[in-house]
Amino acid sequence: MKILQVNFEKGWRGGERQTLYCMRAFREAGHEVSLLARHDQPLAHAAQQEHFTVVTRQRPFEQGAFLLQHARDFDIVHVQTAGSLTWAALTRPFFGKTRLVFTRRTSLPVKRQRQWRTLRKWRKADLFVAISRMAASEPRRLGLDPILISSAIEPRQINTAHAQQVRDEFAIGDKKVLATSAALVSVKDPLTLIRAIARLHQQRQDFIFLHFGAEGDCSDQARALIREHGLQQVYHLAGFRQNIEDLYSLFDIFVMASREEALGSSVLDAFALHIPVVSTNAGGLAELLDDERGYLCETGNDEQMAAALQQALTNPAQANARADKAWQYVQDEHDIGRMSARYLAQFERLISQAR
């Protein structure tokens, strides 16, 4: 098969990493894989470094122009973001026998005034995939029935030198490390996270908090709140880092404060490395941490989050038992080979129907 992956997002988050995982897995299975991505962004660079064929454009509408000219050159056009689906749906009448696949990676509700347009766009896809039950809930409410294919975790070699560099940078010493990987945007709710750490710091001072992630609409508020609570030596805004997975080896506890998550691939990373997780119950996070695979808190509740962190720190045997259960869950449910096989079986079905 000739497969075109389409992801035009800026930056590097879970969706971009999952796009690259798909590309690797499909190529390993013997298929020809290309990428349409935004120019000079991390996903395009990563795919080029791995010698994929990469087409880059700068402006979103240029996706549509490319698909008008070249969609017929592929068997499958696999769109990984809602924004890119807009252009794929508009150009869908010109695809010929090429099949359009869309993977929904968010669980955001569709606003009432946009429902008919969103539904019309979704129906242009020959295959609608959701990465979790939560990501599928809105399409199902609107009468569609996506198939579920979970995101995957790809085993990787940890660069210990990179981890040691960051350990030295923040003078971690013998302190416990609590950490998150989330942009400073409102949906990730960094303000609740800072308040939770402030509560925890009133009880114990044997830790630091590392917040990895890009700047966003909450950046100024986050810095002000850190100053307000006197956490400048405790709560470190560490910025966006390449190869963040290397740094998980430093963490004693991984924390997520999101108000909305379709799944939460950074939590899967923590699971895969036996790191206890404290998280809100937002969307797909509740699915991941079900059956005591971690510690769940209500969204926006900094008191609950502080209490869960204290529980995990004071009862390491319990925290490790939950981390062990989470590790086994990743092996069983989020294997990259299983994800790839499910996608490819669906692609082959679509192509045979088109002949």
Contacts of 279 (CB under 8 A, 6+ apart): 255, 256, 257, 258, 264, 267, 285, 288, 289, 294, 295, 296, 297
Alpha carbons 18 and 7: distance in angstroms, whole number: 10
At residue 355, does pLDDT exceed 80? no
Contacts of 342 (CB under 8 A, 6+ apart): 149
CB hemisphere CA count around 96 (13 angstroms): 11
**Average of pLDDT values for 121-132?**
96
**Average of pLDDT values for 242-250?**
90
Alpha carbons 20 and 15: distance in angstroms, whole number: 9
Report percent pLDDT > 70 for the chain. Answer: 100
For the chain, give the mean pLDDT.
Answer: 94
Which domains are seen in the chain, by residue range?
2-152+335-354 (3.40.50.2000), 160-333 (3.40.50.2000)
What pLDDT, on the 0 to 100 scale, is given for residue 23?
97
Compute CA 256 distance to the chain's CA centroid, rounded to the nearest angstrom. Answer: 12
Does residue 243 sit in helix, strand or coil?
coil
Question: pLDDT tens across 71-91, in order?
Answer: 999 999 999 999 999 999 999
Is there a contact between 177 and 207 (Cβ–Cβ < 8 Å)? yes
Alpha carbons 304 and 306: distance in angstroms, whole number: 5
Report yes or no on whether pTM surpasses 0.85. Answer: no
What pLDDT, on the 0 to 100 scale, is given for residue 139?
96
Question: pLDDT tens across 159-195, in order?
Answer: 999 999 999 999 999 999 999 999 999 999 999 999 9
Written as six digits, the tokens of 8 are: 């035009």
What pLDDT, on the 0 to 100 scale, is given for residue 96?
95
Report percent pLDDT > 90 for the chain. Answer: 84
Please give the order of strands across the beta sheet that includes 147-148. 53-57, 32-38, 2-7, 76-79, 99-104, 127-130, 147-148
What pLDDT, on the 0 to 100 scale, is given for residue 298?
97
At residue 13, does pLDDT exceed 90? no
What pLDDT, on the 0 to 100 scale, is given for residue 46?
96
**Average of pLDDT values for 9-23?**
91
Contacts of 178 (CB under 8 A, 6+ apart): 197, 207, 208, 209, 210, 251, 252, 253, 254, 255, 309
Alpha carbons 170 and 238: distance in angstroms, whole number: 9
Contacts of 289 (CB under 8 A, 6+ apart): 267, 277, 279, 281, 295, 296, 326
Bridge partners of 29, per DSSP, are none
**Range of lowest pLDDT (48-52, 194-198, 306-310, 329-333):** 329-333
